[in-house]
Amino acid sequence: MSTKLHAVTDVNGRPINFFITADQVSDYTGAAALLDELPKAKWLLADRGYDADWFRDALQAKGITPCIPGRKSRNKTVKYDKRRYKRRNRIEIIFGRLKDWRRVATRYDGCPMTFFSGIALAATVIFWL
């Protein structure tokens, strides 16, 4: 089984919340699940997979400015702060550091809940202890 991990981080790049979906599920599912869990923030950085008008509207309703590049298939281009978007590498660093734990990188666990527990344990030790 293949899974996709969605993460919300703070300004310093420490994970706050995770959500796991099946790999073939759209990123919109993860976005909708984590929308209510978002902390107060001025900006949200995300990749192209989270580019949806409803998600942008929901973020702006919460007072968060989205910094999400538009999908290549989008007819109308979306403006975003390219300089700020370069800071999204902090999120990629989180996933890289989580994969330093062999249990997370190879996904030994067949059960998604056990795998998610391993991710939570790794994130706690790496970023919060």
Domain spanning 3-128, CATH class: alpha beta
Kindly state the average pLDDT of the residues 17-22: 90
pLDDT at 44: 92
pLDDT digits (tens, 9 = 90+) for 34-75: 998 898 999 999 999 899 999 999 999 999 999 999 988 888
Kindly state the average pLDDT of the residues 3-26: 89
Question: pLDDT grade, residue 19 (50/70/90)?
Answer: very high
Question: Rg for the chain (alpha carbons), in Å?
Answer: 15
For residue 16, with 0-12 CB atoms within 10 Å meaning exposed, 13-18 middle and 19 or more buried, which class applies?
A: middle
CB of 88 closer than 8 Å to CB of 9: no
Model confidence, pTM: 0.84
pLDDT at 57: 94
The CA distance from 46 to 64, in Å, is: 12
CB of 17 closer than 8 Å to CB of 34: yes
Q: Is the pLDDT of residue 112 over 90?
A: no
Which runs of consecutive H residues, i.e. helices, occur in the chain? 27-35, 53-61, 82-85, 89-98, 102-106, 112-123
| Domain limits, the chain | 3-128
Q: What is the mean pLDDT of the chain?
A: 90
Q: Is the pLDDT of residue 128 over 80?
A: yes
Question: pLDDT grade, residue 1 (50/70/90)?
Answer: low
